[in-house]
Copies of this chain bind each other. A is one copy, B any other.
Amino acid sequence: MQPRFSRVASTPAYQLVAEAIEREIVAGHMRPGDPLGTEAELVKQFGVNRSTVREGIRLLEQGGLVRRDSSRRLWIGLPHYDRLATRLSRALVLQEVTFRELYEAALGIQTATIEAAVERATPELIAQLEENVARTEETLADPVAVSELDAEFHSLIGRAAQNRVLQLAREPTESLVAPTTEIILRKVKEGAPRLLHAHRMYVDALKRRDKEAGRLWVRRHLNDWRKGFERAGRDLDQPIDRIYLQNRQ
């Protein structure tokens, strides 16, 4: 038999409160930095109990739309990269995405990133990148140090690109790819020198403002990563392991 009516679903009040506040923020009537108002005021405006208001606020708090400052007062907040990025990486782990999926996405995102970086890299950032390369050369035998410097290097490239959309897309993939670098460096002897050389070529491309070279070395660098990953005995089509997220928060 065909049901005539769809099920009635009454939205709980705390959710309505959250949605109302969210609408005001997204619509631009309340801007980041504005005070949200005290709980007592919200109670009066919404006509519900303080507990209900508080539950509604908690819904928004996690997403970064409202912030508590030192005085525990509530302000309209601006969801920021790192917060969203860690959420995203966690979601990717829970979805059990494979390394192949990560690799393909990283290739596209990093290619776009290096192109933007070639266009807009400042002398300061290039200096920082060169300093990073110098430190990498010094500690080339230490897999832990090299993989940390590698993560920093790509983070600097991301900053050089001056593109927040790319930054937001880059960080989650990066933070899942990065932990494997150490494993690879331990197993594959020529990994560290090749990594160092690729980084040198990156910086060189940035200095010469050569997009084609940038693209080329992104491909090579990620290709190295993928091959090293396989040579370390891992399967590209396996889900990424949730262990990689343990030491992040």
Binding site for B on A (CB under 8 A): 7, 9, 14, 18, 25-28, 32, 51, 54-56, 58-64, 70, 78-79, 84, 87-88, 90-95, 97, 100-102, 104-105, 107-113, 115-116, 163-166, 168-169, 172-173, 242, 245-246
Contacts and interface: CB of A to CB of B under 8 A. Distances in A.
A228 B169 CA distance: 26
A81 B59 CA distance: 19
Contact of A79 (B25, B91, B165): B91
A202 B215 CA distance: 23
B84 A88 contact: yes
Contact of A105 (B7, B94, B165): B165
B62 A108 contact: no
9 tightest A-B CB contacts, nearest first: A108-B112, A58-B58, A105-B165, A79-B91, A169-B169, A59-B62, A108-B108, A101-B163, A101-B165
A106 to B, nearest CB: 8
Contacts of A242: 26-28
Identify which of A56, A60, A165 gathers the most chain B CB atoms within 10 Å of its CB. Answer: A165
Contact of A108 (B32, B60, B64, B166): B166
Contacts of A165: 92, 97, 101-102, 104-105, 172-173
A197 B244 CA distance: 44
Contacts of A95: 78-79, 164
A104 B158 CA distance: 13
Given A55-B55, A91-B168, A102-B165, 14 more contacts: A7-B70, A27-B242, A56-B58, A88-B168, A92-B164, A92-B168, A97-B164, A101-B166, A104-B115, A104-B163, A105-B109, A108-B108, A109-B169, A111-B111
B58 A245 contact: no
B166 A105 contact: yes
A97 B49 CA distance: 38
A108 B104 contact: no
Nearest to A103: B165
Contacts of A100: 163
Given A63-B63, A78-B94, A112-B109, A26 B88 contact: no
A107 B109 CA distance: 9
